[in-house]
Chains A and B, each alone.
With several copies, the nearest count.
Chain A
Amino acid sequence: MSGLEELYKEIILDHYRNPRHRGELDCPPAHKTEGFNPLCGDEVSLTFLIEEGSIKELRIAGQGCSISQASASMMAAAIQEKSIEEVRDLTREFKAMMSIHEETMTNADQESASAAALTLGDLEALKGVVKFPVRIKCATLSWNTLLTGLDDLDT
């Protein structure tokens, strides 16, 4: 089962079995954003607290498969205390890693993905997902949902 092991790295299963930052924050002061994976029905609900342009805290609720749960859990761990700009950069970098086809990235995405000095760290474990294209949406669900939440702040 080498294919499976490439997808389900130990660290992913660990985040799946022991998800970090589960729960909900009170809104307000926290902001809430929700996302669906239209392919499987998975739902994620994020609540996050912004302080001085940084994500002070983020909590994850919702249901999903091991990949979407692990990705959300790893994302929460990675962005805590980061500035909104840093979070956006990291998101771009993560999505670039998850992107099978360059055409689907805008030029801006590509530039910043290569320019950003941020390291994905543990998130690199999710790289194997790219070989299973239907699961990419699982891995990016929480990231896209957070992006939408950040965009909503501006409006």
Chain B
Amino acid sequence: MTLPSDLKDRFPLLSQIVNGHEIVYLDSAASSQKPDCVIDAMNNYYETINANVHRGAYEIAAQATEEMEQARRRIASFIGCQSPHEVVFTKNATESFNLIARSWGGSNLSEGDAVLITDMEHHANIVPWQILSAEKGFEIRWLPLTPDGLLDLDQLDQLLDGVKMVSVTAMSNVLGTLNPVSEIAERAHAAGALVAVDGSQYVPHLPTDIQELQADLLCFTGHKMCGPTGIGVLWGREELLDSMPPFLGGGEMILDVRRDGFTPNELPHKFEAGTPPIAEIIGLGAAVDFLDSLGMENVRQHEIALTDYALRSLNDRYGDEIVIHGPSDPLQRGGVISLEYRDVHPHDLSQVLDQRGICIRAGHHCAKPLMKELGVVATSRASMYLYNDESDVDALVDSLESAGEMFAL
């Protein structure tokens, strides 16, 4: 089985003309495009059953609630979770990490404790811990990388001493590296630590099974997986989520409110304060349906082949003039390609590509500590998804040269 070849037709944006060229969208690691069915699902909500959920006894409110909860069940099953109430909706992966840090961390971490993260984390899995650490005085430890951009697991066990939480990305949004989460989880658990996983780049691109990952908590974000903006997910083991105090307070998350205090609601509502992102949840439900219909194994195979093609094309054409960060083996990485081309600054490179309709991202990719490790302030990053094909890669490869002519010093 492979992906249908006319997949681009399902994504309205991909037929746009930009600066006179058909768009070549290579920034899916920042945000993916949306298929028609996701847009339709949200329109359908707004046009036929728009109402607040979990409250109204009337028909459209009941339908809205049912569609939202059905989306929760689909999203749960998409990550291999049997208990939909373990799926908590947030506004993005960033909020999911803040929830973990504030709720679990706030009640479990104090001086003398440590949280282990890695040198390749996104700011979303760094700053929430830093904010809390400034209050609580625990230590943040960093698992370093090997020269080829993998986590240096040789150092793991010794770094685990005194660690209560290991929070690690399943796939780097800069290097593309796929990390051995289940192995890390086993060793962390053996050392008495819990494991939170950043699935923001992983869940959209690979078949995900929380049993296999062996994680205790998993964060991901809707807009990178064919879903809308404004919706993120936190999955957690029931006993763990049950043991955590509420994060945001307000409507929906309470069983009772008295002047002298409140009683929190059950999972998942305990963590869902206020009117939820209803349309967005329904949109994300449609997105995982779409992905399921393609088959995540097929998505992964497509991206392996395309990544392989891209790495070979870039290296063949540019040799020493190009540096590509991260693992060279397509099986060890996703379709995120951070590169440096001669000494062209990423901003200038992406500006030149933009003139040809090619969208790539230039910057620190919200991973400044990693940038420092790599010894750069920014990289140019091309990232691929299920709708990309070899012609997109060819456009990228062909265009680097003209940027070099203009900007190489």
Contact = CB atoms under 8 A, between A and B. Distances in A.
Contacts of A116: none
A65 B347 contact: yes
Interface in B364-384: 364, 368, 371, 377-378
Contact of A38 (B56, B66, B255, B352): B255
Interface string A34-55: 0010111111000000000000
A13 B407 CA distance: 8
A64 B57 contact: no
B62 A65 contact: no
Nearest to B53: A134
B82 A134 contact: no
Chain B contact residues (Cβ within 8 angstroms of A): what range?
Answer: 35 or more
Contacts of A66: 345, 347-348, 407
Interface in B384-404: none
Given A4-B355, A36-B256, A65-B345, A133 B66 contact: yes
B84 A40 contact: no
B65 interface: yes
Interface centre among A4, A65, A103 (most CB of B within 10 A): A65
Interface string B351-369: 1100100000011100010
B328 to A, nearest CB: 25
A133 B62 contact: yes
B409 interface: yes
A103 B82 CA distance: 7
Contacts of A3: 19, 355
Contacts of B407: 16, 66
B363 to A, nearest CB: 4
Tier of interface size on chain A: 20 to 34
A135 interface: yes
B351 A41 contact: no
A17 B73 contact: no
A66 B343 CA distance: 11
Given A40-B346, A40-B362, A41-B368, A135 B57 contact: yes
B62 A40 contact: no
A7 B85 CA distance: 27
Nearest to A40: B363
Contacts of B254: 38
10 contacts: A4-B406, A36-B256, A38-B254, A41-B368, A42-B378, A63-B377, A64-B345, A64-B347, A101-B73, A132-B57
Pick the 8 closest A-B CB pairs, nearest first.
A41-B364, A65-B347, A65-B345, A40-B363, A41-B377, A41-B378, A38-B255, A40-B378
